[in-house]
Amino acid sequence: MTQYVLDTNAFLRYLRKDVPQQTDRVIALFTQAKQSKALVTIPMAVILETVFVLSKHYGEQKDTIGTQLFDLASSPILDIEKRDMVKKALLIWKAENSSFVDCLVLAQAQEEGKALFTFDKKLERLAKKA
C-alpha cells in the first residue's frame, strides 16, 4: 500500500473542483484509499491552511467550510492527523465567533485534559463556554 501526505493545494482542488484534471487525480487517490490500496494522511496544518484559504482567499462562508471539513474529517478512508481534535475544533468554530486557530488550541487543551494558558480574553471566554 502506498502512503501519501496530501498538501493544501491538492486538498483545495478536491474541495473547490476548480481545476478538473487535478480534482480528478485527487478523487482517484481517495478512491484508492477507499479500496485500501493507499493511505492518505491529511495533516492538521493542511486543515488549518485550508480554512484560512477558503475563508480569506475564496470568501467561502464559515458554515460551508466547517460542514465540508467536518464531513471529510469524519471519513474513515482518510487519515486525519488528530482527527477527534480537528472535529471538535470545527464544531466549536462553526458555533462561535472565534478564529479557527483559537478553536484548535482550545480543542487540544480539552482533548488532552490540559489547562488553557492564555492572555487572550476572547479565548478565555470561549474556554469557559465550551
pTM higher than 0.85 for the full model? yes
pLDDT in tens, 42-83: 999 999 999 999 999 999 999 999 999 999 999 999 999 999
Are 31 and 66 part of one and the same domain? yes
Are 31 and 75 part of one and the same domain? yes
Domain count, the chain: 2
* 130 pLDDT more than 80: no
Taking the CA atoms of 29, 35, 37 and 42 in sequence, report the sign of the dihedral they define: positive
Grid coordinates belonging to 91: 464544531
Structural domain of 41: 1-81
* CB-side neighbour CA atoms (13 Å) of 79: 11
